[in-house]
Structure 1
Amino acid sequence: MYAVIFRAKPGIQDSEYGRTVTRMRELAFEKYGCLDFISATEGEGEQEVTISYWPNAQAISAWKSDAEHTLAQETGRAKWYDSYIVQVVEIKREYKFNS
């Protein structure tokens, strides 16, 4: 299993941003096999962190090159984010606790 960690400093996040985030999430699950997708904002919107989980590296590559996702990335760089970093990691081990 793999994870993609997206950490960003938000810029202008308008209503188009909200619609695009919803669509990208749907696309990731429905077309590319995303296993989970978690987002959080920290410090009154100063940092956004999104972690998505994927079955393999090929699914991540296909997702990254999707035409809709590519357009969202371009708009993100132009308007929605001041900066961001993307990290792709392979999960070697996982531990759980359930009470």
Structure 2
Amino acid sequence: MYAVIFKAEVAAFDAEYFATAAKMRDSAISQYGCRDFIACTEGNMEIAISYWDSEAQIKAWKQDLDHIAAQQLGKAKWYKSYSVEITEIVRAYHSQP
């Protein structure tokens, strides 16, 4: 399993951002096999982590035309800076409910 970690310094969010983010999350899950997608914002920092079975899924998602358009809007309007890390999960632990 792989995780994509997106970290960003927020410039400003608007209604278009929230609609686009929801659409991108739904698309990643329904069309590209993303297992989970978690995002949170604190102050002017945002972090999003998505989980995938393969690097091929991640690459396909990166090449999605709507995702590319959303990235361009992010660079132009919503983020001052960002970074993306792709990691392979070697081991995972969970507590019992």
TM over 0.5: yes
Q: Deviations over 1:64-94 (max 9, x none)?
A: 1100000000010001100000000000111
Return structure 1 stretches of 4+ with deviation > 2 angstroms. Answer: none
Count of residue correspondences: 97
Aligned-partner Cα distance in 2 for 1:96–1:21:
27
Superposed CA offset, 1:6-53 (max 9, x none)? 0000112111101000000010001000000111112xx221010000
Equivalent positions of 1:3-42 (< 5 A) are 3-42=3-42
Q: In structure 2, which of residues 50, 67, 70 is the aligned counterpart of residue 72 of structure 1?
A: 70
Query: Percentage identity across aligned positions?
Result: 49
Deviation at 1:95, TM superposition (A): 1.3
- Structure 2 gaps of 5+ residues are none
Cα RMSD, aligned residues only: 0.8
One-letter identity of the residue aligned with 1:83: S
* Structure 1 Cα separation of the partners of residues 31 and 44 of structure 2: 31
Distance 2:44 2:66 in 1: 26
Q: Measure the CA separation in 2 of the matches of 1:58 and 1:66.
A: 13
Pairing of 1:43-58 with structure 2 (within 5 A): 45-58=43-56
Secondary structure, aligned partner of 1:34 = coil
Q: TM-score, normalised by structure 2?
A: 0.96
In 2: Cα distance, 1:76 partner to 1:85 partner: 12
> What amino acid sits opposite 1:17 in the alignment?
Y
Judge conservation of contact 2:11–2:44 (CA < 8 Å) in 1. no
